[in-house]
Structure 1
Amino acid sequence: MPRSLRADAKANHERLLEVAARVFATEGADTTLKAIAAEAGVGIATLYRRFPTREDLIEATYRNETDRLCASARRLLQDLAPTAALREWMEAFVDYMLTKQGMADALPAILATREGLRLHSRDALAQAVTTLLQAGIAAGRLRKDASVNDVLMALGGITLISGHEHDRDLASRLITLLLDGLAVGDGTPSAASRA
């Protein structure tokens, strides 16, 4: 296959996944595949060649979004201070979860039947948070007892609540509270802890 054709095929593949993530997040997993192909600027035959079933496209989109989010942790730390990188990553996590919610009806069955997909996602997310927390702890900005699982559970709760309220700004405000709880304090007890 000529190199330019391979590059075009790769670009089509990436564009399909990008469009699918956006469309699934806003319209749900039942949106027509023809609409996704059209928005990506490819024919429906190209979509089916890459993703023979709707489930294949949903799985690939979910895996791609997970991998993109997790890979962003190290990139953010190259450009930002650890706490700023953690905030940016948390905001991206909320957007990732909104995409996942758009696939909510179809995803449980896919996760149950595609071996290793759930474990891959959980491990990749935990590794990304570990990287960010360790950088913040090493910089003296985050508490040493910060738990990866606690952070992921809190982020899941933030996404659930802000999604239920249909208020994306609420997620950002709750992320601020979570980061305040993770920050190293000055040793002065808060009013709540003195009460």
Structure 2
Amino acid sequence: MSNPLQGAQFVLAAHRISQLPPDDGAEVAFAGRSNAGKSSALNALTGHRGLARTSKTPGRTQQMVAFSLPPLPQGEGEAPLTVRLIDLPGYGYAKVPEELRAHWKQEIDAYLHRRRSLRGVVLISDIRHPMKEFDRMMLDFCFATHLPCHVLLTKADKLSRNQAAQALAALRKELAAGGTQATAQVFSSQTPTGVDEARAAIVTLLQTPRE
């Protein structure tokens, strides 16, 4: 299967939302805790091993990083859609100074509220652990603002297939009980489990206008 996210390129790293590319077209943001495997997921999804920096030290993404994608075809007579992926700073790593964490929180909040081209969020969460406070806050925000959210339960290769299926079922049950209209899947950047499914979900988000 061809990769619709192939051809992703680094555009810029922004410390503030005012430094991001022009707010037009469509973009999907990647959010998650610092050790959940966000950079590895981005690399696997784009098929570009060195696109997002990976490190044995979590928390290396300390800015909002924009990646351009090839334009998405639209309906007949319509110009192709300009599309991007935005890698948000990893959240929750203890060694990050409190002042910088406060800055990230403020900028991420502003980005989610103000960015008109934002079509959805891909939330990265380690399948081996329950969802953390930040994950739940992001889900609650997406629900309250009618922003689509797709959860990738990463590192599924660390569990058996049955354990991964149980973790996914438990999360979907939790989401349904809370009324949160997010979608979820298992994912591994190593195997690669769920990569095609996740790519399709991201393209759907990019192509779907906000309510």
Is the structural similarity TM-score above 0.5?
no
Greater strand percent: which structure?
2
Looking at CA atoms only, which structure, 1 or 2, has the larger radius of gyration? Answer: 1
TM (norm. structure 2) is 0.29
Structure number with the bigger relative contact order (C-alpha 8 A, sep ≥ 6) is 2
| Greater helix proportion | 1
